[in-house]
Structure 1
Amino acid sequence: MDNPTRTADEPTRARLQRRLEETIRNNRFTIAVIFPVVGAVTLVASAEGLLPSPLAYNPLLILFGTLVMRSPLLVGLLPRIGPWALGCLGVLAAYTYAIEVVGVRTDWPYGAFEYTIQLGPMLFGEVPLALPLFFVPLVLNAYLLTLLVLGDWSERLFLRVPVAIAAVVAIDVVLDPAAVAVGFWTFESGGFYGVPLSNYAGWVLSGTVAVLLVDLAFDRPGLLERVRSCEFVLDDLVSFVLLWGSINVLYGNWIAAAVASALCLGLFSTDRYDVDVLLSALPGRIER
């Protein structure tokens, strides 16, 4: 772990990084557990008409909650995001907008769908302006989990890239049925909990481009060292599994819930999520 002790000549960026990491560590349980549980309850209550209109599907609350749950990933990766990585991620963000606009206008590659609520301001009135905040971290989570699970095998390009793409698609298998269930978007037709199989073929395409850009963005040995040393960098994936996995369970999307459980097993296989870790993340830092 990085030494949190402050030195007199500590650079401004390092000081800011240290403070951000301290904030995440001191609030891990709230960020990784409380926020997604509250989010799941709020979204289900919105979908079932149990919340008044100012609160139901409130875009500011959705964006704020998403940003908070993303914060461990963003803070964890910040030391490895230089100009080159920033440029590659910028290309990925632009690609995210482009393929989503094409998807909404042409029904390709995901199938005919439309957003049924506004997830914040909408670009061209068609796709959320905050779309990269929703999509890019999913790819990063899949890629980082792949690196940790594969270990030394991740050095093999033709292994890590297909596995990371499969992880991205698995994440969407969890996301889309739950998002359809709570009314985020809808497909004209779909046999897998309201989602057409063409959607997952589209995610193979978009996920391949996204994973290749992420693979190109980072110095992999340095990234892997950072991921191994930063205990909270995958907490965003924990939030994702809790939020969307629980919604799938509530709506009886059992295959999607099983895939969420598989992602959970992947997280546990990294040896950073066990009973001791969960207890140490509780407010008051309970230790065994």
Structure 2
Amino acid sequence: MGSPNSDGAAGGPATRARIEEALSRLVRENRFTIAVVFPLVGAALFVLSYEEVLLPPWLAMNPVLILFGTAVMRLPLVAGLAPLVNRKAGAGLLLVTGYSYFIEYVGVHYGVPYGEFSYQLQLGPMVGGVPIGLPVFFLPLVLNSYLLVLLLLPRASRAKRTLAALALVLVVDFVLDPAAVGLGFWQYDGGGFYYGVPLSNFQGWVLSGFVAVSVIEWGFDTEELATRLETCEFALDDFVSFVVLWGAMNAYFGHWIAVALAVGLSAGLVRTDRFDFVGVGRERPEQS
């Protein structure tokens, strides 16, 4: 198998390598800002928007700002995976992207597989009732879960790794969904047992998560991915951002089960030494 950089990029492998290096340097030099400051500022803006105080109307729950902030917090994940995205991995990511649009469209219009729900807030431009920026929200949930499992269970078989990643995806959704419903991002018809989220949503995520994790498992070389995780200290900083932002929002709403699950996710990140952004000077060697 050829090196990831050999699979055709505009400007050639050398240009791609320079772009990847520049992106990695940008992320590494701003780790604390991206992984902690951005989600804390986002949580504060969400609270002020929800309480309808202080913020001017144009700023409260501004969809462009939400999409921009989310994209910034995704930068560590992009920089971490970029050197490994060859044709096969790229095809896998495109397949998951297409699948995410398809399953969301079906969910919005037909109530399958998540149950009847509708977006209450436009998360950026919408087409057919689905946010154009959906992959920015969906893909990282699955990728981060899969990457953390690789670190926690390095010797697991493919089947065990897939099941563990799927379980982690469900935990992630148990953290995300109640806070998103509380903020009014989307709403389930008739509410649900778990802070307004019905059981059908999590049943739907079993399907969505299994398909997405399986495609990622197919697309990426597991050994190369594990090596990259060991040598790239910021690869899971996006997961840190997720825990900070949605843990804080669930605490604000008093969703204490979701808060406990967010703490559990943070324990996994601590175990894999992924809260080391305070000591940014202590860098791991970069993979060539």
Same fold (TM over 0.5): yes
Q: Which residue, 119, 127, 130 being the options, matches 1:127? A: 130
Q: Which residue, 81, 91, 97 being the options, matches 1:93? A: 97
Q: 1:134-213 counterparts in 2 under 5 A?
A: 134-153=137-156, 156-188=157-189, 189-213=191-215
Contact kept? 2:118, 2:186, Cα under 8 Å? yes
Partner Cα distance (1:211, 1:278) in 2: 27
Partner Cα distance (1:181, 1:93) in 2: 26
1:225 corresponds in structure 2 to 227
Partner Cα distance (1:240, 1:279) in 2: 17
Partner Cα distance (1:286, 1:221) in 2: 24
Contact kept? 1:67, 1:133, Cα under 8 Å? yes
Structure 2 counterpart of 1:11, which letter?
A
Q: 1:44-63 counterparts in 2 under 5 A?
A: 44-50=47-53, 51-63=55-67
1:253 corresponds in structure 2 to 255
Partner deviation per Cα, 1:6-55 (whole Å, 9 max, x = no partner)? xxxx9222222111111111100000000000001111211221222110
Distance 1:256 1:228, change over 3 A: same
Contact kept? 1:279, 1:286, Cα under 8 Å? no
Query: What is the CA-CA distance between 1:180 and the residue it aligns to?
Result: 0.7
Partner deviation per Cα, 1:205-264 (whole Å, 9 max, x = no partner)? 100000001101101101110111100000000000000010001110010111111100
SS in 1 for 2:104: helix
Contact kept? 1:147, 1:160, Cα under 8 Å? yes
Confirm or deny that 1:240 pairs with 2:239.
no
Contact kept? 2:237, 2:274, Cα under 8 Å? no
14-23 vs 31-40, which moves further: 14-23
Distance 1:286 1:18, change over 3 A: closer
Contact kept? 1:59, 1:118, Cα under 8 Å? yes
Confirm or deny that 1:116 pairs with 2:120.
yes
Unaligned runs of 5+ residues in structure 2 are 1-12, 284-288
Partner Cα distance (1:264, 1:194) in 2: 24
1:6 corresponds in structure 2 to none
Q: 1:253-272 counterparts in 2 under 5 A?
A: 253-272=255-274
Partner Cα distance (2:152, 2:35) in 1: 20
Confirm or deny that 1:280 pairs with 2:273.
no
Partner deviation per Cα, 1:156-195 (whole Å, 9 max, x = no partner)? 0121000000010110000000001111111112111010
Q: TM-score, normalised by structure 2?
A: 0.91
Partner Cα distance (2:84, 2:282) in 1: 31
SS in 2 for 1:194: coil
- Runs of 4+ in structure 1 off by over 3 angstroms are none
Contact kept? 1:109, 1:198, Cα under 8 Å? yes
Partner deviation per Cα, 1:62-109 (whole Å, 9 max, x = no partner)? 111001000000011000001111111101101000000100111111
SS in 2 for 1:118: coil
Partner Cα distance (2:247, 2:37) in 1: 15
Contact kept? 1:104, 1:114, Cα under 8 Å? yes
Distance 1:286 1:267, change over 3 A: closer
Structure 2 counterpart of 1:52, which letter?
P
Partner deviation per Cα, 1:94-139 (whole Å, 9 max, x = no partner)? 1000000100111111111110010000012x01010011000110
Partner Cα distance (2:274, 2:188) in 1: 37
Partner Cα distance (2:135, 2:225) in 1: 21
Query: What is the CA-CA distance between 1:286 and the residue it aligns to?
Result: 9.9
Query: What is the CA-CA distance between 1:279 and the residue it aligns to?
Result: 2.6
Contact kept? 1:32, 1:69, Cα under 8 Å? yes
Q: Size of the alignment, in residue pairs?
A: 269
1:3 corresponds in structure 2 to none
Structure 1 counterpart of 2:170, which letter?
V
